[in-house]
Amino acid sequence: GESVGLHLPTLSVQEGDNSIINCAYSNSASDYFIWYKQESGKGPQFIIDIRSNMDKRQGQRVTVLLNKTVKHLSLQIAATQPGDSAVYFCAENGGGYNKLIFGAGTRLAVHP
Amino acid sequence: NAGVTQTPKFRILKIGQSMTLQCTQDMNHNYMYWYRQDPGMGLKLIYYSVGAGITDKGEVPNGYNVSRSTTEDFPLRLELAAPSQTSVYFCASCWGGLSTDTQYFGPGTRLTVL
């Protein structure tokens, strides 16, 4: 899920498969990380978060993994559904005043 | 609650024109933010506010101004529109400045400068 400029990387999966979306973050001092989902024409929507003192957190059908050694986050979506089709962004928070730094995003396309 | 609302949804400006993007939240949130999102990119912070009367620059503030006269409203002003300001603009709000305070986003304003 790294930035490649104007063209978002796309992950294509079959409905029912598991999806893994990756993100590299930039600031080793960031203490909080969030995954957002953005559907076409809408604003980002919170999915799940994780503090820097954790390496895994699970939600409903989603799991976030954090590897601070290599500054890497991943979002796992179980049993991917057509409604999961969207652009997914990771964001890091470490600059005070809850200012977020967003990654470039990955487009998830779910095929029936 | 309507959450975070933004107007207009779409706007086309000519180079040199000015406009104000409106943002209102009804959640009594103290913190508000303006981001821009260029095609195929993540969001970048333009300005933010920690309360009425208090604003500060984000990562990309040049060409923009903000004000925060009330808790609810956080308008973004473009004085001399340039093609480089063609983007989608998102407003967000959250209760406080803790990293665990979730930011809620509006639906966005798509601006084209020709």
Q: Is residue A3 within 8 angstroms of chain B, CB to CB?
A: yes
The three-point CA angle A91-A104-B101 to 5° equals 15
pLDDT number for residue B97? 78
User: Chain B partners of A42 at a C-beta cutoff of 8 Å?
Assistant: 107-108
Q: Is residue A111 within 8 angstroms of chain B, CB to CB?
A: no
Tell which B residues from 70 to 109 touch A, by Cβ distance under 8 Å.
Answer: 90, 92, 94, 96-108
User: DSSP code of B73?
Assistant: B
CA distance B41 to B46: 15
SS3 state at A62 = strand
The residue with tokens 């040049």 is B62
What distances in angstroms separate CA A62 from CA A20, A45, A59, A66, A80, one per listed residue? Answer: 10, 14, 5, 13, 10
CA distance B104 to B109: 15
CA distance A2 to A89: 10
Nearest chain A Cα distance for residue B99, angstroms: 5
CA distance A85 to A101: 23
Closest chain A residue to B100, measured at CA: A32
pLDDT number for residue B41? 85
CA distance B52 to B75: 12
Cross-chain Cβ contact B41/A105 below 8 Å: yes
pLDDT of A10 over the 70 cut:
yes
> What pLDDT digit, counting tens, does each position of B93-106 carry?
999 877 788 899 99
Instruction: List the single residue in B42, B50, B100 with the smallest CB-CB distance to A97.
Output: B50
User: Chain A partners of B60 at a C-beta cutoff of 8 Å?
Assistant: none
Cross-chain Cβ contact A43/B100 below 8 Å: no
Cross-chain Cβ contact B103/A46 below 8 Å: yes
Give the pLDDT band (50/70/90) at residue A7.
low
Cross-chain Cβ contact A31/B96 below 8 Å: no
CA distance B74 to B30: 11
> What pLDDT digit, counting tens, does each position of A26-71 carry?
888 888 999 999 998 899 999 999 999 999 999 999 999 999 999 9
pLDDT number for residue B42? 87
pLDDT number for residue A6? 45
User: Chain A partners of B58 at a C-beta cutoff of 8 Å?
Assistant: 99
Nearest chain A Cα distance for residue B71, angstroms: 16
> What pLDDT digit, counting tens, does each position of B53-111 carry?
999 999 999 999 999 999 999 999 999 999 999 999 999 999 987 778 889 999 999 99
